[in-house]
Amino acid sequence: MTMENAASALSLRNLSGSIVLLALAILLAAGLVFGVLHYADQARQSLRQAQTQQSESRGRLARAQEDEQEIRAKIDRYQDVIARGRTQPERRLDWVETLRGIKEKRRLISMDYEIAPQRPLDPKNVASGGYSFLVSPMKLDMLLLHENDLLGLLADLSTQVPALVSVRQCAIERLPAVAQQQAALLRAQCELDWITLQEKV
C-alpha cells in the first residue's frame, strides 16, 4: 500500500499546484513582456511625434526671416483691405446712389439693374482665415454709346464703393440700325458680384 503511494506520487493531481504556479508565472511573464513592449511602442511613437514637432519648429524658425517678410507684406495687404472698407457691412443704399451718380456723371443713355439677396461666396468647407466672403449678385442692363461707357462705369464702381466689384460675365452687342433712334449703338448685359468680408463669430 505504501509502495503504491510512493510509486503513484508522480501524478497530475500532485502536480496541479506547481502547474498552476507555472501557468501564473508564464502569464505574468507574458503580461510583463507585452506590457513593456506596448509601453516601449508608445514611447517610440511619442519620440517620432516629438521629433516631427522639433523638425517642424526648426524649419519654421529657419523660415522665420522669410515668414516675417511675408507676414509683414500680408499685414500691409490686410490693413489695405480694412482701409478700403471691404469688411464693412453691405450698404445697398450707398451702392444705388453711387450707381445713379455714375450714370449721371457719364451721361449713360439707359441703365437697369437688379441686386439679388446676399449669400456666402464659398461653400462651408473652404478655409478663409476667420472671415466669410459674402456676395450680392447684380444684373446690369445698359444701352451704350461706346464700349468705354461700360468700362468707365466698372472702373468708377471699383474706386467708389468699399465692396470688391467682380464682373462675372458680360455680353456686349452692336444694336441694329433701327434701334439707334436713341443714339445708343451698343447694348451691354453684365453679371457682377459685390463682395464684402464679414468676420466669423
Window 43 to 72, contacts with other proteins (CB under 8 A):
43-44, 46-47, 50-51, 53-54, 56-58, 60-61, 64, 67-68, 70-72
Strand partners, 138: 115, 192
Rule CB under 8 A: say whether 83 interacts with other proteins: no
Q: Does 39 sit near other proteins (CB under 8 A)? A: yes
The verdict on 97 binding other proteins (CB under 8 A) reads no
Which x/- pattern, by CB under 8 A, does the window 126-145 give for other proteins?
A: xxxxxx-x------------
29 lies in the site for other proteins, by CB under 8 A: yes
Burial class (CB in 10 A: 0-12, 13-18, 19+), 61: exposed
CB distance 148 to 185 below 8 Å: no
Q: Which three cell numbers stand for residue 93?
A: 443704399
CA distance 131 to 122: 11
**Residue 173: closest CA among 156, 192, 188, 191:** 188
Is 22 a binder of other proteins (CB under 8 A)? Answer: yes
For other proteins, which stretch binds (CB under 8 A), given 17-25, 96-104, 109-117, 177-185? 17-25
Cα 1 from chain centroid?
Answer: 92
Give me the 150-189 binding string for other proteins, x by CB under 8 A, dash otherwise.
xx--xx--x-----xxxxxxxxxxx---------------
Residue 134 near residue 120 (C-beta atoms within 8 A): yes
Q: Please state the closest distance from residue 160 (CB atom) to other proteins, in A.
A: 14
